[in-house]
Amino acid sequence: MAHHHDDHDHSELSPVEARVRALESILVQKGYVEPAALDALVERYETQVGPHLGAQVVARAWVDPAYRERLLADATPAIAELGIGGRGGEHMVVVENTPEEHNLVVCTLCSCYPWPVLGLPPVWYKAPPYRARAVIDPRGVLAAFGVRLPQATRITVWDSTAELRYMVLPMRPAGTEALDERQLAALVTRDAMIGTGLPGAPASVPASVPA
């Protein structure tokens, strides 16, 4: 579906969406962007790129110890093994959660984000309150997201930049030994790969948050 026509009813658009639509129309009219290229870009980030790709990486690491080692040693080529990569994912680092350490990713200067594996960044990731508080009070930030960790668990904050972008390898949930890779990937959330959430639990295992 084309996104560049300006004859649609805009009454249902939010103020931000309306401004984006107006800017898009001006850029197209002035010849600064090609409508077909713009549509292809939008379609890519709506349908082809997203956290489901990062979930595939996590699930593979959970079931394949050799892949996990490669991922933690040099993430970019390991992720590329699954056919995943592109702009924003050239210099990836994957950090692993353990019972002793929980990792949290932020970009304090702007909103650098690993687009190829996580898709579009959530609004809160780009917001100044998150960017500031994640460094000052990471435990409080996690609590706001519903993640309450034992006091003994160390929280490490990783600051993504344009040159280096981080993704969290969350711990595999208990009770998932019988699940295959596809089923495991379905448990992996975007927030778990940022560090502000935990993976889901299989239907047979009650969902829980560490107390």
Q: Which residues are catalytic?
A: 107, 110-112
Across-strand partners of 165? 92
Across-strand partners of 106? 159
Q: What is the H or E stretch that residue 106 is in? A: strand 101-106
Phi, psi angles (nearest 5°) of residue 115: -50, -45
Neighbours of 157 (CB within 10 A): 16
For 155-205, give the DSSP string.
Answer: EEEEE--SS-EEEEEPPPPTT-TT--HHHHHTT--HHHHHTSS-----TTS
Report which of 56, 169, 48, 50 is spatially closest to residue 115, judged by C-alpha positions.
Answer: 50
- SS3 label, residue 100: coil
> What is the distance between the alpha carbons of residues 187 and 183, in angstroms, rounded to a whole number?
7
Neighbours of 27 (CB within 10 A): 15
User: Which positions ≥6 away from 171 have C-beta within 8 Å?
Assistant: 97, 98, 99, 199
